[in-house]
Amino acid sequence: AHCETAVTSALFRYQGVDISEPMIFGIGSGIFFGYLPSVKLVHLQVTAFRNRPGSVFRKAAQRLGANFVIKTYRDPQKGMDELRQVLKAGHIVGLSSNLYWLPYVSERHRHNFGGHNIIALRETEGGFRISDPTFGEPVDCSADGLERARFVPGPMNPRGFMYYNKSVNPHPDLRQACIKGMKNSCGLMLRIPLPIFGVRG
């Protein structure tokens, strides 16, 4: 969940709400366990220690009283055009991408994962300036490379998923948000009756 929580935390901090990545993980009910022997990723059976991609961001935003614009696209050209428009309007934008197709990622670190979250900071000549939680500094990404990573077909296709702040609560009730996050996490871990999820897994 590192990329999702890091991007969510950065989007809040950009709007003046200083909230840490671990706090986002807790408020968003990030902790979970699942063992999926029939599903393989990089030739290994999937074992999950976090909730499904996208759920941490959505729950944290709701519990902290933030209003995000969230969009997906069928048409890659429309998705890229709207990204440019939002950046020109002064926003930074969270994007879901397929890690394998990001051109700045080295070959040895690439794998087919369609839920990798990054931030588009601004448009540059021929591409975009990107903040990627797995890199220490912002990186440059070609426009073609970013489009491919956002719209590549296949399992967990990002479908151009993008999100940015419309408004935030400058003084969220952190205590209540944390309580809701903890209760939801406990419910997910304890009440799912299937033997591959939660404490039964």
List strand residue ranges (DSSP E) for the chain, in order: 31-41, 44-50, 67-71, 93-97, 116-124, 127-131, 139-142, 162-167
Per-residue pLDDT tens digits for 153-199: 976 789 999 999 999 999 999 999 999 999 999 999 999 888 889 98
Sorting pLDDT into bands at 50, 70 and 90, what band is 114? confident
Residue 186 CA neighbour count, 13 Å, CB half: 6
Separate counts of helices (H) and strands (E) for the chain: 6, 8
User: Do the bridges between strand 93-97 and strand 116-124 make them parallel or antiparallel, or are there none, so unpaired?
Assistant: antiparallel
Which one-letter DSSP state was computed for residue 126?
T
Q: Which domains does the chain have, with CATH numbers?
A: 1-66+168-201 (no CATH), 67-167 (3.90.70.10)
pTM, full prediction: 0.90
> Out of 38-42, 122-126, 131-135, which region has the weakest mean confidence (pLDDT)?
38-42
pLDDT reading at 122 higher than 70 = yes
